[in-house]
Amino acid sequence: MRCRVCGVVGVRPFLDLGKMPLSDGLVRPENLQGPELTFALEVAFCPNCAMVQILQDVAQEVLFPEDYPYFSSFSDQLLAHSRRHALNLVETRSLSGDSLVVELASNDGYLLQNFVELGVPVLGIDPAPAQVKAANDKGVRSICRFFGLELAEELLAGGTGQAEVIIANNVCAHVPDLNGFVAGMKALLAPGGLITIENPYVRDLIDHCEFDTIYHEHLFYHSCTGIARLMERHGLHLNHVEYFAELHGGTLRYHVSHQAGRTPELEAYLADEAATGVDSFRYYEGFAQRVEQLRVDLRALLSSLRAQGRTVAAYGAAAKGSTMLNYVGIDGDLVSFVVDRNTHKQGLHMPGTHQPILGVDALVEQRPDFTLILAWNFKEEIMGQQRGYTEAGGQWIVPVPHPEVIAS
Ligand code: JHZ
Ligand code: ZN
Tell me the pLDDT tens digit for each residue of 121-153. 999 999 999 999 999 999 999 999 999 999 999
Degrees to nearest 5, angle at CA 259 with 254 and 260: 80
* 109 and 221 part of one domain: yes
* 274 and 327 part of one domain: no
CATH number of residue 104's parent domain: 3.40.50.150
Residue of minimum CA distance from atom 3 in ligand 1: 319
CB 209 within 8 A of CB 376: no
pLDDT for the residue numbered 345? 97
pLDDT for the residue numbered 95? 98
Tell me the pLDDT band of 407, cut-offs 50, 70 and 90.
confident
pLDDT for the residue numbered 408? 63
- Residue 401: asked if its preceding bond is cis (omega within 30°), the reply is yes
d(CA 393, CA 372): 14
Q: Distance, CA 240 to ligand 1 centroid (Å)? A: 27
* 127 and 229 part of one domain: yes
pLDDT for the residue numbered 406? 93
d(CA 396, CA 302): 12
Q: Which atom of ligand 1 is nearest to the CA of 75?
A: 33
- Residue 400 lies in domain: 309-406
Report yes or no on 28 lying in a domain.
no
Report yes or no on 402 lying in a domain.
yes
Q: Distance, CA 327 to ligand 2 centroid (Å)? A: 27
Number of independent structural domains in the chain = 2
Residue of minimum CA distance from atom 28 in ligand 1: 382
- Mean pLDDT in the chain? 97
Complete edge-to-edge strand list for the sheet that includes strand 38-45: 12-21, 38-45, 52-54, 220-221
pLDDT for the residue numbered 65? 87
* Length, in residues, of the chain: 408
pLDDT tens-digit readout, 2-25? 999 999 999 999 999 999 999 999
d(CA 121, CA 346): 34
CB 367 within 8 A of CB 344: no
Report yes or no on 14 lying in a domain.
no
Residue of minimum CA distance from atom 8 in ligand 1: 170
Q: Which of 340, 376, 385 to mutate to test the pocket of ligand 1 (most atoms within 8 A of CB)?
A: 340
